Structure 1
């Protein structure tokens, strides 16, 4: 229903440009090239970044991670807590990844420029991961290569081998075209807007939001033992995995201060 309403809205948004578009409304957000041809880039970006790739399970625990690709604490949380928990409990949790963190953006002649906490390579890594999410769309497809990159000694150089291992149908060339082009720039701007809109505002990363809420207690529980937290918060019939011991709690976790 929401998709139908969105397409109905898009029809009127781009009515003045429809003579330039040879694609039906149902295809307008299927690729960046079609979105540009139909002059609905901004609407499709908004739709993509706000769209909930969520389970039909209405009781699923919602987990949002605001992070940076080269932040040590972020990498540790994503690789050792979030990804393993998702592998075991993906039927009862939904994950939203927002790579941006403590970056700063400014508009320079209509194009967004970003300064990242750990330098240009982090901006590169953030954009790679944003592009993977956009191009692959399904978390079952994009989360494994993102985990692979974050778990590797060199995040950005791991793109090609991680794609080969988990999603060989997409090439590094295709991802880098997004990263280095207009699409990657706009995706990072959307992540900036989402991060800046956090309430309360983030003070460090990883910044974890559970069921739309962030506080010190939830953050601490998530970083210490996310698996146990998800099992505790899920109000439906708990999966068999929750009856086990779960993941070993981590020692005191590091963060990257804003």
Structure 2
């Protein structure tokens, strides 16, 4: 190679210093080489020397890049606190994420707004299941804000929704004592009006869903809604996970027949958008009270 040739010529000339003729001969050979080729050889030699020196001295400091952790599967749960299908899903199905380490591959996001309507003033809200639902939605929004870690706010929301399934939701404040939680962060959030601002954020978030939600529970895995097949959400999560090793629990959810996003042939376990029974009851109540007032004036 050029590097070896240059080296040997210089070495040979240095060993034969006794005659000026031999030195002239060596440099004459080098001079006869094209200048670009000679420079290239010089840089190759220099780079090779530097590389060999650094590799011998710094080899112990070189480490292979560690493989990056596989991205988690995103799971969005859009709900309202008093929809019976939402509370049942959270208490009986969503909680399974915390079994067999499934939560380790999931990025769970809770959004307590659901089918709630926002009046034209963009401030007043009308909840599908009445005023108490508005309260509990805001309570759960405040809990998420006060305790951002999933391991902190999920047990509280689970406790509240468990009471909903038992028709004891008016006892929701007992969850503080049951879980040994300080109620002040949530009560401050409610009294300061911050909870209402949080709910408006969830309203905007829910309105931005694509495709738009049609009912609740509305469960979304990696941006794809599961529609009425939401109870099979774990099988979708396991199939969406791109990591090398999925939790052992995935085996029992993916070993059976492949799930498809099709309409389930049963009565729909959802609370649909639109006028609800509570809206009609509120309308009847208002009409009845108005009639009493008018009658009293006659």
Q: Give the TM-score taking structure 1 as reference length.
A: 0.67
Aligned to 2:90: 78
SS of residue paired to 1:91: helix
Per the alignment, do residues 140 and 183 of structure 1 end up closer, same or farther by CA in structure 2, a change over 3 Å counting?
Answer: same
In the TM superposition, 1:172-211 aligns within 5 A as 173-211=184-222
Aligned to 1:100: 113
Unaligned runs of 5+ in 2: 1-67, 274-298
Whether 1:129 aligns to 2:131 is no
Task: Give 1:235 shift.
Answer: 2.0
Unaligned runs of 5+ in 1: 1-55
Whether 1:66 aligns to 2:74 is no
What are the superposed Cα offsets for residues 199-253 of structure 1, whole Å, 9 maximum, x if unpaired? Answer: 1111111111110122xxx334432x2233322222211112223469xx99956
Task: Give 1:75 shift.
Answer: 0.9
Of residues 269, 272, 276, the one that matches 1:254 is 269
Of residues 151, 154, 162, the one that matches 1:140 is 151
Distance 1:251 1:147 in 2: 29
Per the alignment, do residues 57 and 83 of structure 1 end up closer, same or farther by CA in structure 2, a change over 3 Å counting?
Answer: farther
Q: Contact between 2:70 and 2:242, CA under 8 Å: does it hold in 1?
A: no
Of residues 234, 242, 246, the one that matches 2:250 is 242
Q: Contact between 1:125 and 1:155, CA under 8 Å: does it hold in 2?
A: no
Task: Give 1:77 shift.
Answer: 1.2
Aligned to 2:17: none
Distance 2:143 2:247 in 1: 30
Aligned to 2:52: none
Of residues 231, 235, 241, the one that matches 1:228 is 235
Paired residue total: 193
Which of structures 1 and 2 has the bigger CA Rg?
2
Task: Give 1:154 shift.
Answer: 4.1
Distance 2:70 2:111 in 1: 22
Task: Give 1:144 shift.
Answer: 0.9
Task: Give 1:181 shift.
Answer: 2.6
